[in-house]
Amino acid sequence: MFVVYEREGIDRDEALRYWREQHGPLASKVPGLRYYAQTHALSSADGGSAPYLGSAEMAFDSQGAFVEATASPEFDAVLKDVVNFADPDNVPTAVVQDYVFVD
């Protein structure tokens, strides 16, 4: 899971568009990827400006498959593309486990 923060000097709507239309298809090419979703933050809970652009989730068959994917040229291209829409120095990342309660 990745949290994506705005980069100074780029319009928020343009950043979200780029993330969706350019970065998403690029990320979809990472080998071994089973699921990829972006969650775009529209506003804060109180209706104000969201504190970040959103989050992204990538799912793999195993943590080992994720580690293999991170060594691929496709994953490297994804990392290098972040600067085009987000702050590349502020992308908190975690390996997570989903527990689905309603599907």
pLDDT tens digit string along 61-80?
A: 999 999 999 999 999 999 99
In single-letter form, the type of residue at position 40 comes to H
User: Can you list the domains of the chain with their CATH numbers?
Assistant: 2-84 (3.30.70.100)
Integer CA distances (angstroms), 63 to 20, 49, 57, 74, 76, in order: 25, 34, 14, 18, 18
**pLDDT grade for 84, boundaries at 50, 70 and 90:** very high
Q: What is the pLDDT of residues 18-70, one digit of tens each?
A: 999 999 999 999 999 999 999 999 999 999 989 999 999 999 999 999 999 99
- Specify the pLDDT at position 42: 92
How many residues does the structure list for the chain? 103
